[in-house]
Amino acid sequence: MTNLSDVLEHINADQENALQRLFDLLRIESISTDPAYNDSCTEAADWLVNDLNAIGFKASRRDTAGHPMVVAHTPNGTGPRMLFYGHYDVQPVDPLELWDSQPFAPALEDTAAGKVIRGRGAADDKGQLMTFVEACRAWKTITGELPANITILFEGEEESGSPSLVPFLEANADELRCDLALVCDTGMWNEKTPAICTMLRGMLGEEITITGADKDLHSGMFGGPAQNPIRIMARLLAGLHDESGKVTLPGFYDGVSPLPQQIAAQWRGLGFDATEFLRAVDLSVVAGETDHTALEQIWSRPTCEFNGINGGYTGDGFKTVLPARANCKISFRLVGEQDPLAIRQSFRHYIQSNLPADCSVEFEDHGAAPATVMSIDNPAFERARADLSTEWNTEAVYAGCGGSIPVVGYFSELLGMDSLMIGFGLDDDQIHSPNEKYNLTSFMKGTRSWARVLESLAKAS
Amino acid sequence: MTNLSDVLEHINADQENALQRLFDLLRIESISTDPAYNDSCTEAADWLVNDLNAIGFKASRRDTAGHPMVVAHTPNGTGPRMLFYGHYDVQPVDPLELWDSQPFAPALEDTAAGKVIRGRGAADDKGQLMTFVEACRAWKTITGELPANITILFEGEEESGSPSLVPFLEANADELRCDLALVCDTGMWNEKTPAICTMLRGMLGEEITITGADKDLHSGMFGGPAQNPIRIMARLLAGLHDESGKVTLPGFYDGVSPLPQQIAAQWRGLGFDATEFLRAVDLSVVAGETDHTALEQIWSRPTCEFNGINGGYTGDGFKTVLPARANCKISFRLVGEQDPLAIRQSFRHYIQSNLPADCSVEFEDHGAAPATVMSIDNPAFERARADLSTEWNTEAVYAGCGGSIPVVGYFSELLGMDSLMIGFGLDDDQIHSPNEKYNLTSFMKGTRSWARVLESLAKAS
């Protein structure tokens, strides 16, 4: 216990240096979805390789068909094997004009709610993954050794569908297979209450482009007898939900089970305030399925969302064009045993079979991952929950998570590992939005949490 | 008749010079809807002022709150007064990548269908207005005098809702009021058959921006209970038409009369081939109102078209954002006695009253003009039709026009003038689209047509 106390004390004392290291990483513009930032993604991977080598890991950059992976190992590690996963890539920053600061000029800011680390990736996921790296660094500094038998995997394509992940896991299964995966890409229940996420929604990403005429037309000359792809798109999108908020695709709810009574009761006990949750983003009415509460919807119900739409003239002023094309990006959040590929097929059939005969559609695949539900019978879960409760001085909870972390599914399917999902994000972190932040408390107590958890898990064997 | 023969001969002989003058005008990037091109609009106005002064008009640039007007008069003119109207502004050029040449580098091209003048504005409306200017120039060259008592009005905001036009007409009504307006902004029936347009659809332009949350949200964290403005937009747009293609807004068809039997019969006699019309733009199915033919729809039926839509993440790749906003530009083509302002009110009420309580909408007004129907009792119409028939060696027809030329309505309301709409555009001119062109035949025989019409109308008094 002496060592752990020293480690925790060192983490506090080293705060300024830890922040500077995180800022160095945050300054790298590693937007994975936009090819203009390819070099920055590689730069972020190299930065991590160097940092991990500096604290005693044997780390290397592993190139792929897309952005590189970073893999690191505790040299000559013994004891239970743990695979820590995070991602160094970030979301695009547009609309840039809504940022109050430069997204890649990170800074510590005083706010009414305390100090926050501001910048793209502060919470998703660079700040989070660095809590783990800093915990390892502190153990190494104090004891001269890394605290456990750790393998690290950082990917650079999490925000762009992870096209290289499955091939990489398959090709390096023996090297990466551990007793347990540790994933730091989720949130706390609230700013006082830590959480371990045990349910993740899956995701299906689709993009459709509907084409009518072979060029944009004059709406005066052709308006009426010529098809308008925006109108077709609106009709098709509007047909995807019924009046009760249910998705209308045939077979969509196959594999969606009712929430078990005891889980529903536990969630009700959390006292989630939907009105407050929505008020934070200037909304007030619970939308979505009318027969499910907001929390049930986010954690346990599938959705169909429209993420982006574009067609015709969208510049300043007005242009009476009848557009040749309309495009929409659509994501489905999936739960339980929903089959992403069956839903893709049902979706594409719906679109194709409802198109006018002289229009065409192109589909683009943006990934498909089923939902994941962890078993908490693995004693590592209760050990980690105890450590979190100690560090935050509040009983840690098991939670669901509305987001998708497909890697957790792949770890289960391809490497036979459960994932212990511990993260320190908060609902107001504005990930994927302008002005992303990560609370300084999340960063510091997150680091201290991992320092505790690593010791507990290493001891158990 | 000697003079006219000489004039026509001179027009043919001067073709190369006339083309170079038109190219000079086409090279000016006078896109009126985009403030980045303000200086170019002024440059185009100045170019026209200089050219008109050079051929004996008394011309001047008349500044407005927007782009300038050009006004010119025959010095000391006598006889019937004619007001010629055209516009020197052009549509935006995007998507630029679909142009096979630079839009503002005009050139004469050999095509399978003959020689064409290629470039933005070649047909709409610089090429058309120059047919009139060249006809005047030829008369002046041959006779030393302009051929009639002409006032010219060129505007630079026709493609951006003409905000300065009504105030300018009102402020200069005495100067601009003539016995008849001549407008060259319409088309031929086909490449052999000239036409005088006697019916124009009106237009109402609306833009709506629907806002839900105060920022883009993560669709995993908020998808379900939070409103999605793209989904709302799709539902609202889809609700604007019923299954038979009719617009559903209450009161929309007030003022739309059935087409008179004799006009319907005349139009059927034109042998319009809807399949061929659509095939030219790679379509094959007549869309729109199921109980009206394609030609009836274009010439005599109102429409509601979606001209541009935008919301959420529309860049490369994928972003699972739940967007804060969605925007759509919508135009209504109007006929008969439809009241644009009543329709605007009905439209806005529909949108507003179907929004979720925690979402808001902003409306932007992009102009409103009623439809126009000319009386062909004015003998100028039959005189001009005879001249056109002579020049083209084919009986000229009275036609409708699906487009909107609001100025014709203003001339009627504000200055008490009918408009004789003669133009030489063709359906395949790709106005408002990439690769706009104007047939060399349209330009040359158009010029010759005006040379004839001007003499006929000047003689009549």
Kindly provide the ipTM of the predicted complex, given to two decimals.
0.73
Instruction: Work out the minimum CA distance from B210 to partner chain A, whole angstroms.
Output: 13
User: What pLDDT sits at residue A372?
Assistant: 85
User: What pLDDT sits at residue A325?
Assistant: 97
Does the beta-carbon distance from A221 to B282 stay under 8 Å? no
CATH of the domain at A58: 3.40.630.10
Question: Residue A224: its chain B contacts at CB < 8 A?
Answer: 287-289, 292, 294, 297-298, 301, 303, 333, 402
Beta bridge mates, A440: none
For residue B315, being part of any structural domain is answered with yes
Question: Residue B402: its chain A contacts at CB < 8 A?
Answer: 220-224
Question: Residue B230: its chain A contacts at CB < 8 A?
Answer: 237, 306-309, 328
Domain closes at, from A319, A345, A369: A369
Does the beta-carbon distance from B329 to A316 stay under 8 Å? no
Question: Residue A317: its chain B contacts at CB < 8 A?
Answer: 33-34, 160-161, 366
Instruction: Work out the minimum CA distance from A76 to partner chain B, whole angstroms.
Output: 39
Are B166 and B88 in a shared domain?
yes
List the structure tokens of B202: 């009106």
Q: Residues 6 or more apart from B303 whose CB is under 8 A from it?
A: A219, A223, A224, B247, B288, B297, B332, B333
Does the beta-carbon distance from B92 to A315 stay under 8 Å? yes
A167-202 burial: b if 16+ Cβ within 10 Å, else e:
ebbeeeeeebbbbbbbbbbbbbbebebbbbbbbbbb
Question: Residue B432: its chain A contacts at CB < 8 A?
Answer: 216-218, 319-321
How far is A309 from A107, CA to CA, in rounded Å? Answer: 33
Q: What is the mean pLDDT of each run of 10 residues along chain A (461 residues)?
A: 89 98 98 96 98 98 97 94 98 93 97 96 98 98 96 96 95 97 93 91 95 91 93 98 97 91 78 92 94 90 96 92 97 94 98 97 94 86 95 90 83 93 94 96 98 92 49
Query: Closest Cα to residue B297, out of A117, A385, A227?
Result: A227
Taking a contact as any Cβ pair under 8 Å apart, which residues of chain A between 393 and 432 contact chain B?
A: 401-404, 427, 430-432
Chain A interface includes B213 (CB < 8 A): yes
B402, A221 Cβ separation under 8 angstroms: yes
Chain A interface includes B326 (CB < 8 A): yes
Report the Cα A21 to chain-centroid distance in Å.
22
Q: Reduced to 3 states, what is the DSSP secondary structure of residue B327?
A: strand
Are B90 and B165 in a shared domain?
yes
What are the two backbone dihedrals, phi and then psi, of residue A46, each rounded to the nearest 5 degrees?
A: -65, -40
How far is B450 from B461, CA to CA, in rounded Å? Answer: 18
Domain closes at, from B343, B369, B395: B369
Are B435 and B409 in a shared domain?
yes
CATH of the domain at B225: 3.30.70.360
User: What pLDDT sits at residue A2?
Assistant: 64
Does the beta-carbon distance from B297 to A94 stay under 8 Å? no
A344, A206 Cβ separation under 8 angstroms: yes
Of B214, B283, B312, the CB nearest to A309: B312
Question: Residue B160: its chain A contacts at CB < 8 A?
Answer: 317-318
Beta bridge mates, A334: A202
Domain closes at, from A342, A369, A396: A369
Chain B interface includes A214 (CB < 8 A): yes
Taking a contact as any Cβ pair under 8 Å apart, which residues of chain A between 359 and 388 contact chain B?
A: 366-367
Are A424 and A339 in a shared domain?
no
Instruction: Work out the minimum CA distance from A323 to partner chain B, whole angstroms.
Output: 6
Does the beta-carbon distance from B237 to A239 stay under 8 Å? no
Are A361 and A241 in a shared domain?
yes
Are A416 and A331 in a shared domain?
no
Query: Closest Cα to residue A175, out of A191, A151, A158, A194?
Result: A151
* Closest chain B residue to the Cα of A435, Cα to Cα: B215
Chain A interface includes B66 (CB < 8 A): no
Residue type at B461?
A: S
List the structure tokens of A327: 């495009």
Are B163 and B65 in a shared domain?
yes
Chain A interface includes B259 (CB < 8 A): no
For residue A170, being part of any structural domain is answered with yes
Are B156 and B127 in a shared domain?
yes
Question: Residue B228: its chain A contacts at CB < 8 A?
Answer: 287, 305-306
Supply the range of the domain harboring residue B411.
2-200+371-459
A-to-B residue pairs, Cβ atoms closer than 8 angstroms: 359
For residue B322, being part of any structural domain is answered with yes
Geometric angle at alpha carbon B243, from B241 and B249, rounded to 5°: 30
Q: What is the mean pLDDT of each run of 10 residues along chain B (461 residues)?
A: 89 98 98 96 98 98 97 94 98 93 97 96 98 98 96 96 95 97 93 91 95 91 92 98 97 91 78 92 94 91 96 92 97 94 98 97 94 86 95 91 83 93 94 96 98 92 49
For residue B297, being part of any structural domain is answered with no
Of A92, A95, A319, the CB nearest to B307: A319
User: What pLDDT sits at residue B45?
Assistant: 98
How far is B99 from B116, CA to CA, in rounded Å? Answer: 15
What are the two backbone dihedrals, phi and then psi, of residue A409, each rounded to the nearest 5 degrees?
A: -65, -45
Does the beta-carbon distance from B306 to A289 stay under 8 Å? no
Radius of gyration of chain B, Cα coordinates, nearest whole angstrom: 23
Taking a contact as any Cβ pair under 8 Å apart, which residues of chain B between 133 and 192 contact chain A?
A: 159-161
The total number of structural domains that make up chain A: 2
Are B321 and B445 in a shared domain?
no
Residue type at A141?
A: T
* Closest chain B residue to the Cα of A319, Cα to Cα: B307
User: What pLDDT sits at residue A150?
Assistant: 98
Are B22 and B83 in a shared domain?
yes
For residue A210, being part of any structural domain is answered with yes
Of A218, A237, A331, the CB nearest to B219: A331
A121, A82 Cβ separation under 8 angstroms: no
For residue A282, being part of any structural domain is answered with no
Does the beta-carbon distance from B403 to A231 stay under 8 Å? no
For residue B266, being part of any structural domain is answered with no
A62, A70 Cβ separation under 8 angstroms: yes
Instruction: Work out the minimum CA distance from B295 to partner chain A, whole angstroms.
Output: 8
Percent of chain A whose pLDDT exceeds 90:
82
How far is B168 from B176, CA to CA, in rounded Å? Answer: 10
Chain B interface includes A233 (CB < 8 A): yes
For residue A277, being part of any structural domain is answered with no
Are B220 and B364 in a shared domain?
yes
Of A92, A212, A326, the CB nearest to B315: A92
Are A223 and A99 in a shared domain?
no
Chain B interface includes A256 (CB < 8 A): no
A233, B234 Cβ separation under 8 angstroms: yes
